[in-house]
């Protein structure tokens, strides 16, 4: 059934009413007439560890996971889970080493860190960059992929209408500020995980018994069948001859570019760190550790359904040429439709629950994203460069206006560019990761040296950010102008079958090259300027800051043990 039925709408309506009512209750209960900008944007001192942890997951898991990552699971298999599982370990590192530096130095935004550590020029350049990235890459992709998913499940709503409805729902939540976002995210994650697990359960049962009879035994039978019938989809580390090697180049996912992606995303990203910056260190660390455990669960929700959809597709279940099918009018298998096509096979009520989970993921992520956009624009651009004397009330009001304006821009971009960038046959998740990766190596180099090396200078930071981006562009297009075939045996040069088999340097490896060059360049520039007596604004860093509680240490060891088992079993 390729449309929502009355029972599905009732389940979804229940979800909507619960989130809206709880959000309104939180807003009224914690409303402060004289709220400061820190209170509105950061919910300073108001979020508990469980609210921080669930908000991190709700903000992270969105259409790019449910649609993009599930589609990548359909195409390349369990290996795409490395983003989720390596993120769990990354969160532990961020909690131990990054968050204490931010909190000790009273840093609330990423541009503020750059201003405090380097100078206003670096901070302003990066503030503008982050606004551009969040709107052009993140809002655009989340809105478009989310709309594709909802349209695939409920084709009575056009893609344009779906984009608008998602935007409006998200803005309503975001206007309440970080308190409302943080606490409604708890409800969003509940529906996200419950609905996702139900979809996975039904999908595996469909693999086991296409007639739709569900049982726990059927689920385990389905899991066994997909490991046999799609055995090539259960390898975490690709060999060089794998068609997907250019996207996940072998050991780079363990010792190379994946670390750059994750450390930049989880440790240097306003959108993510904002959840923890309003809390004390113990609460922040506990929330981040909780999020790390939830990340271990995510592949079960978003990747396994994609692999199950692949097996069902091989059996001919999705060979339809309509808008809700995976075989499009041009005959291309559209991996972005794997998850919504799967949901169309769910029974009434269960489909509504899975639909609510998908909507929860999209809306929570959008609300968090526009809140971060508003935070950066209001506190780091408007207050610093336009109106330093602005009152707290004016800053809060401007933040609300910024939320609406950012979402309008996102809607326009999603409507105009979404199809061209993430249309049929293209992996939306890889689009997001690759184009974010043009900037992340330089940013991470600038942050790490800014944290832990007191001699790093502002000109060195500019080299890393601007030069890092330019180097990323050069490495992207270099194979078109130079013969790099000598790199092929080492895995640094591979065919991109999504680009007509053209040879490219895998983007994980490009990030690794750019990161190393950025660090070396920063070191050389800083040493030259230090030799001339240049004064540097070092942060307050004390090794005692990195000491953790016994409970946190035990949790971290447990995560490492689970990851070791997973990679050993699915190597």
How many other CB atoms sit within 10 Å of the CB of residue 10? 14
- According to DSSP, the residues that pair with 504 across neighbouring strands are 494
| The pLDDT of residue 418 is above 90 | no
Residues 138, 376: Cα–Cα separation, whole Å: 15
- Nearest alpha carbon to residue 117 among 518, 514, 443, 467: 443
What is the Cα–Cα distance from 264 to 440, expressed in whole angstroms?
6
Inter-axis angle of helices 281-302 and 304-314, nearest 10: 10
Local structure of residue 325 (DSSP, 8 states):
S
Average pLDDT over residues 294-311: 87
Measure the CA–CA gap between 407 and 46, rounded to whole angstroms.
26
Q: Give 114-157 pLDDT, tens digit per residue.
A: 888 888 888 888 888 888 888 887 888 888 888 887 887 777 78
Question: Residue 557: is its pLDDT beyond 90?
Answer: yes
CA distances to 85, 435, 436, 543 from 268, rounded to whole Å, are: 19, 16, 13, 20
Is the model's pLDDT at 551 over the cut of 50?
yes
Residue 292 pLDDT greater than 70, yes or no: yes
pLDDT confidence tier of residue 321, bands split at 50, 70 and 90 = very low
Cβ count within 10 A of residue 237: 17
pLDDT at 374 over 90: no
Distance CA 566, CA 79 (A): 11
Q: Report yes or no: 390 and 377 within 8 Å, Cβ to Cβ.
A: no
Q: What percent of the chain has pLDDT over 90?
A: 14
pLDDT in the model for residue 285: 92
Q: What does pLDDT average to over the chain?
A: 80
Lowest model confidence (mean pLDDT) among 229-233, 270-274, 449-453: 270-274
Place of tokens 């350049």: 125
Helix (H, G, I), strand (E, B) or coil at 268: coil
- Host H or E run for residue 111: helix 110-117
Tokens of 49: 């560890």
> How confident is the model over 332-346, as a mean pLDDT?
71
Contact 179, 43 (CB under 8 A): yes
DSSP letters of 485-506? GGGGGGTSSEEEGGGTTEEE--
**For the ranges 173-182, 280-289, 448-457, which has the lowest average pLDDT?**
173-182
Task: Give the pLDDT of residue 518.
Answer: 94
Check pLDDT > 80 for residue 330: no
pLDDT per residue as tens digits for the range 376-395: 888 888 888 888 888 888 88
Spatial separation of the C-alpha atoms in residues 281 and 100, rounded to whole Å = 7
Is the predicted pLDDT of residue 63 greater than 70, yes or no?
A: no
With a cut of 60, say whether residue 324 has pLDDT above it.
Answer: no
pLDDT at 335 > cutoff 60: yes
Residue with tokens 């309008």: 408
13 CB neighbour count, 10 Å cutoff: 12
Q: What is the pTM of this model?
A: 0.80
CATH topology of domain 6-429: Sodium/glucose cotransporter (1.20.1730)
How far is CA 377 from each of CA 56, 172, 173, 395, rounded to the nearest angstrom? Answer: 21, 19, 19, 10
Residue 281 has pLDDT above 80, yes or no: yes
CB neighbourhood size of 106 (10 A)? 10
Identify the pLDDT of residue 329: 47
What's the pLDDT score for residue 277?
A: 75
Residue 239, helix vs strand vs coil: coil
Q: How many other CB atoms are found less than 10 A from the CB of residue 528?
A: 13
Give the tens place of pLDDT for each residue, 459-469.
999 999 889 88
Q: What sections of 158-280 are H helices per DSSP?
A: 159-174, 177-208, 216-229, 252-255, 257-267, 270-273
pLDDT at 331: 45
Tell me what the mean pLDDT of segment 105-111 comes to. 82
Evaluate whether 341 touches 324 at the Cβ level (below 8 Å): yes
Range with the lowest mean pLDDT among 66-70, 122-126, 474-478? 66-70
Q: Residue holding tokens 């298998």?
A: 333
Task: Flag whether pLDDT at 399 surpasses 90.
Answer: no
Q: Cβ(71)–Cβ(338) under 8 Å?
A: yes
pLDDT at site 263: 92
Which residue is associated with the tokens 């339809």? Answer: 320
Q: 301 is written with which tokens?
A: 């929700």
User: Which two structure tokens, joined as six digits, stand for 16?
Assistant: 């909507």
Contact 178, 278 (CB under 8 A): yes
CB 221, CB 227: distance < 8 Å: no
Domain ranges in the chain?
6-429, 437-540
**Mean pLDDT across the stretch 218-232?**
85
pLDDT above 60 for 426? no
pLDDT grade for 89, boundaries at 50, 70 and 90: very high
**What's the confidence (pLDDT) of residue 387?**
86
Q: What is the pLDDT of residues 238-270, one digit of tens each?
A: 887 777 777 777 787 888 888 998 898 888 887
In tens, the pLDDT along 3-39 reads 778 888 888 888 878 877 877 777 777 565 555 666 6
Quick one: pLDDT band at residue 435, thresholds 50, 70, 90?
A: confident
Q: How far apart are CA 164 and CA 166, in angstroms?
A: 5
Lowest mean pLDDT among 148-152, 179-183, 399-403: 179-183
């Amino acid at each position: 059934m390729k449309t929502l039925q009355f029972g599905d709408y009732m389940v979804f309506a229940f979800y909507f009413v619960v989130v809206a009512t709880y959000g309104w209750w939180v807003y009224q209960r914690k409303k402060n007439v004289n709220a400061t900008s820190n209170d509105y944007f950061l919910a300073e001192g108001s979020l508990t560890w469980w609210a921080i942890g669930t908000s991190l997951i709700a903000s992270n898991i969105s259409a790019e996971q449910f649609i993009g990552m599930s589609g990548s699971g359909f195409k390349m298999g369990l290996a795409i889970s490395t983003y989720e599982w390596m993120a769990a370990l990354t969160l532990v590192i961020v909690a131990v080493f990054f968050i204490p530096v931010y909190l000790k130095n009273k840093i609330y935004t990423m541009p503020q860190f750059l201003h405090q550590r380097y100078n206003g020029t670096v901070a302003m350049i990066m503030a503008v960059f982050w606004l551009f990235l969040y709107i052009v890459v993140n809002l655009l992709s989340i809105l478009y992929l989310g709309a594709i998913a909802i349209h695939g499940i409920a084709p009575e709503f056009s893609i344009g209408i779906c984009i608008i409805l998602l935007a409006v729902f998200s803005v309503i939540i975001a206007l309440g500020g970080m308190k409302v976002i943080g606490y409604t995210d708890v409800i969003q994650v509940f529906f996200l995980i419950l609905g996702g697990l139900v979809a996975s359960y039904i999908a595996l049962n469909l693999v086991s018994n296409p007639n739709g009879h569900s049982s726990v035994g059927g689920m385990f039978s389905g899991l066994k069948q997909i490991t046999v019938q799609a055995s090539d989809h259960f390898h975490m580390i690709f060999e060089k001859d794998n068609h997907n090697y250019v996207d996940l180049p072998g050991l780079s996912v363990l010792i190379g570019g994946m670390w750059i992606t994750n450390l930049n995303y989880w440790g240097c990203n306003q959108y993510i760190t904002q959840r923890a910056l309003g809390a004390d260190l113990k609460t922040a660390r506990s929330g981040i550790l909780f999020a790390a455990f939830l990340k271990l669960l995510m592949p079960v929700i978003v990747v396994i359904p994609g692999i199950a959809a692949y097996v069902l597709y091989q059996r001919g279940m999705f060979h339809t040429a309509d808008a809700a099918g995976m075989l499009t009018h041009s005959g291309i298998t559209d991996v972005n439709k794997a998850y919504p096509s799967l949901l169309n096979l769910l029974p009434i009520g269960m489909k509504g629950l899975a639909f609510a989970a998908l909507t929860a993921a999209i809306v929570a992520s959008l609300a968090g994203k526009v809140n971060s956009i508003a935070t950066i624009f209001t506190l780091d651009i408007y207050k610093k460069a336009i109106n330093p004397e602005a009152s707290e009330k004016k800053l809060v009001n401007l933040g609300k206006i910024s939320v609406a304006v950012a979402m309008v821009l996102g809607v326009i971009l999603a409507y105009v560019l979404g199809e061209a960038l993430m249309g049929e046959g293209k992996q939306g998740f890889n689009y997001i990761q690759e184009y974010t990766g043009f900037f992340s190596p330089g940013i991470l180099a600038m942050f790490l040296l800014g944290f832990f090396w007191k001699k790093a200078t502002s000109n060195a930071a500019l080299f890393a950010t601007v030069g890092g981006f330019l180097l990323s562009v050069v490495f992207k297009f270099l194979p078109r102008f130079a013969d790099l075939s000598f790199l092929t045996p080492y895995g640094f040069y591979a065919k991109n079958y999504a680009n007509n088999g053209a040879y490219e340097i895998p983007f994980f490896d490009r990030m690794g090259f750019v990161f190393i060059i950025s660090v070396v360049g920063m070191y050389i520039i800083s040493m030259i300027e230090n030799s001339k007596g240049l004064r540097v604004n070092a942060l307050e860093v004390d090794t005692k800051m990195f000491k953790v509680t016994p409970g946190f240490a035990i949790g971290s060891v447990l995560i490492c043990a689970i990851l070791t088992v997973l990679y050993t079993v699915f190597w």
